[in-house]
């Protein structure tokens, strides 16, 4: 027995590690085994992503500054004309300006009340072939927590999956583990959106009697409490009506191209349904 263990202990350990890994994958434990180690790893990479982000911003500002200078003379003349026209319009529409101020105050109030957000910069991408994720430079120190929604003005990006002190992992809505309740903007038909890789999501459980056509905009319903209500998911690119089967096959292209997005907003309201650690 001792001889057997001495010969094969590596293989036995390998099997044990794989079994534990599979268990963690399928059913993540309530506690994380590596919060301390993960924090060390994130701290080790902090100077790297900080300096690379600084360099990117520097190069980008120099480049755009150069282009601004080239076009500045022409743009100046156009802007002067525009300012004169706008001043005339402004004096004509005092009532509209006052109304606008009132609405603006209301909007500010609703923003402060419901959707407090924090801006973050995208500093890296998950390059593994199995998952679609990005890394943002805001973490627990900025009030970001697991399960919070990540959006841009153009639409939703994903959901926070794991946080460190000043770094967070975000699972994109095209990742196969992402799912959320959505509605079709035009007909209000409900469905479950699920990531399917690339830039696509699929809509599940849509009856063939529902009116969904190519070009329909898909919004998050907010019913499951995971994503803000009314946030744009994307646009329907194909609707297949299978001869057999209970539901339509619908594909949606994401409104936001995650590879080109540079800044995001994290909605600082915790999801209504608490997320289990490690589950997207």
Contact between residue 276 and residue 28 where contact means Cβ atoms under 8 Å apart: yes
Nearest residue (CB) to another protein, 166 versus 175: 175
Query: Within 13 Å of residue 53, how many CA atoms lie on the same side as its CB?
Result: 17
Contact between residue 157 and residue 172 where contact means Cβ atoms under 8 Å apart: yes
Question: Quick one: tokens of 183?
Answer: 């509605």
CB of 33 to another protein, least distance (A): 5
Cα 155 from Cα 265, distance rounded (Å): 10
Query: Within 13 Å of residue 264, how many CA atoms lie on the same side as its CB?
Result: 32
Chain contacts with another protein (rule: CB under 8 A): 10-11, 13-14, 17-18, 20-22, 24-26, 28-29, 32-34, 37-38, 40-42, 44-45, 48-49, 52, 123-133, 135, 161-162, 169-171, 175-177, 194, 196-198, 259-260, 277-279
Where does residue 65 rank: exposed (0-12), middle (13-18), buried (19+ CB within 10 A)? exposed
CB of 251 to another protein, least distance (A): 12
Residue at token pair 């360099």: 55
Nearest residue (CB) to another protein, 88 versus 262: 262
Nearest residue (CB) to another protein, 135 versus 220: 135
Question: Quick one: tokens of 178?
Answer: 């992402």
CB of 214 to another protein, least distance (A): 20
CB of 275 to another protein, least distance (A): 12
Nearest residue (CB) to another protein, 171 versus 219: 171
Nearest residue (CB) to another protein, 159 versus 219: 159
CA 155 to chain centroid: 8
Cα 207 from Cα 212, distance rounded (Å): 10
CB of 266 to another protein, least distance (A): 16
Q: What sign does the dihedral 215-221-224-227 (CA atoms) show?
A: positive
Contact between residue 272 and residue 227 where contact means Cβ atoms under 8 Å apart: no
Nearest residue (CB) to another protein, 30 versus 215: 30
Number of neighbours of residue 180 by Cβ within 10 angstroms: 25
CB of 217 to another protein, least distance (A): 24
Nearest residue (CB) to another protein, 146 versus 219: 146
CB of 52 to another protein, least distance (A): 5
């Amino acid at each position: 027995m001792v001889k057997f263990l001495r010969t094969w202990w590596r293989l036995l350990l390998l099997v044990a590690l794989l079994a534990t890994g599979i268990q963690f994958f399928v059913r993540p434990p309530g506690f994380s085994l590596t919060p301390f180690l993960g924090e060390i790893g994130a701290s080790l990479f902090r100077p790297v992503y900080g300096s690379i982000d600084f360099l990117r911003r520097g190069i980008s500002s120099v480049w755009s500054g150069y282009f601004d200078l080239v076009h500045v003379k022409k743009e100046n003349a156009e802007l002067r004309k525009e300012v004169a026209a706008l001043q005339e319009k402004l004096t004509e529409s005092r009532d509209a300006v006052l109304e606008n101020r009132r609405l603006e105050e209301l909007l500010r109030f609703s923003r402060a009340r419901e959707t407090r957000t924090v801006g973050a910069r995208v500093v890296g991408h998950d390059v593994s072939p199995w998952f679609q994720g990005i890394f943002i430079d805001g973490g627990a120190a900025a009030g970001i927590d697991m399960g919070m929604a990540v959006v841009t003005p153009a639409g939703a990006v994903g959901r926070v999956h794991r946080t460190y002190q000043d770094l967070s992992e975000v699972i994109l809505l095209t990742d196969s583990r992402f799912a959320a309740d959505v509605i079709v903007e035009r007909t209000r038909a409900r469905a479950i959106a699920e990531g399917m890789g690339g830039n696509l999501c699929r809509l599940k459980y849509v009856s063939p009697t529902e009116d969904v056509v190519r070009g329909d905009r898909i919004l998050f319903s907010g019913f499951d409490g995971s994503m803000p209500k009314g946030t744009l998911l994307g646009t329907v690119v194909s609707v297949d009506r299978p001869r057999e089967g209970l539901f339509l096959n619908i594909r949606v292209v994401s409104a936001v191209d995650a590879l080109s997005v540079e800044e995001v907003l994290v909605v600082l309201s915790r999801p209504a349904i608490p997320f289990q650690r490690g589950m997207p």
